[in-house]
Structure formats: C-alpha cells, structure tokens
C-alpha cells in the first residue's frame, strides 16, 4: 500500500492548464482519470507523490490555475503478475 496525492480541478481546461504549466517545472506528476473514491467536477486529475504537493501548489498558484481539492489516497501498487499475463498474451498474438 502506498499513499498517492490527487489534485482535482473544476474544468478540463484547468486540468490541462495545470499539465502545461507543470511540464517544465521538474515536478513529478501524471494526468489520470479521477479515481471513483474521489468526488470531482472534472474527470481528469493530477496524480503525484505526496512530497511534491507544495511545489506543485506553488506552480499552479503562480500561473493562476484553479484547482478544487487535494486528496490523499491509499492505493495498492499494481501487481506485476497481471502485466506478465498481458505480455504473454501479446507475445502469442
């Protein structure tokens, strides 16, 4: 189990603006669908390691990007076994 951080946004426009302004910031993040455990007005969220929260908030604030909330979520790491199964299937195809 690992804790991940999710930024949610009021609109797709602001989610994309967040991605654009963070691209060259050196922050580590990924745009992902909003997990069902979180309530958000926009379906796209920004996922990042918790230690990046402050740096990301600063970049967003400096660029007038609105966000709704920052959620912390305990998540299971993806199991390597399932990837292996998929890889074997692809190899057969």
Partner 1 sequence: MTTKAPNLYFDNAATTWPKPESVCRAVEANLRQSFGNPGRSGLSRSLESDRVVYQTRQKVADFFHIEDPSRLVFAFNATDALNMAIKGLLNRGDHVIFTAMEHNSVLRPLGSLRRDGFITTTAVPCDKEGRPDLDYLEKAFTPRTKLVICSHASNVTGTILPVDTICLLAHQKGAFLLVDAAQSAGVLPIDLSLLEADLLAFTGHKGLLGPPGTGGLYVREGIDLKPWREGGTGSFSEEDLQPQVMPEKMEAGTLNTTGLAGLQAGIEFIQETGIDEIRRHELKMRRLLKSKLLALPGLTVYGPADDAQCVGVLSFTVEGVDCGELGRLLEDPYGIITRTGLHCAPLAHKAIGTFPQGTVRLSPGYFTREEDVERVALALEEILRVKV
| Interface positions with partner 1 (CB under 8 A) | 10-17, 19-20, 31-34, 41-45
Q: Which two tokens stand for residue 88?
A: 């074997």
């991605």: which residue's tokens? 19
Closest separation in Å from C-beta 13 to partner 1 = 5
Closest separation in Å from C-beta 36 to partner 1 = 12
Nearer to partner 1, 23 or 88 (CB): 23
Nearer to partner 1, 33 or 84 (CB): 33
Give the whole-angstrom CA distance, residue 33 versus residue 7: 11
Give the whole-angstrom CA distance, residue 58 versus residue 68: 15
Nearer to partner 1, 33 or 88 (CB): 33
């Amino acid at each position: 189990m690992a804790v991940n951080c999710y930024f949610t946004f009021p609109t797709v426009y602001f989610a994309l603006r967040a991605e654009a302004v963070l691209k060259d910031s050196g922050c580590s993040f990924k745009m992902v669908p909003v997990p069902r455990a979180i309530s958000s007005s926009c379906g796209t969220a920004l996922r990042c390691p918790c230690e990046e929260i402050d740096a990301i908030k600063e970049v967003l604030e400096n660029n007038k990007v609105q966000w709704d909330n920052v959620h912390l979520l305990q998540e299971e790491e993806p199991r390597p076994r399932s990837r292996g199964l998929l890889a074997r299937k692809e190899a057969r195809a």
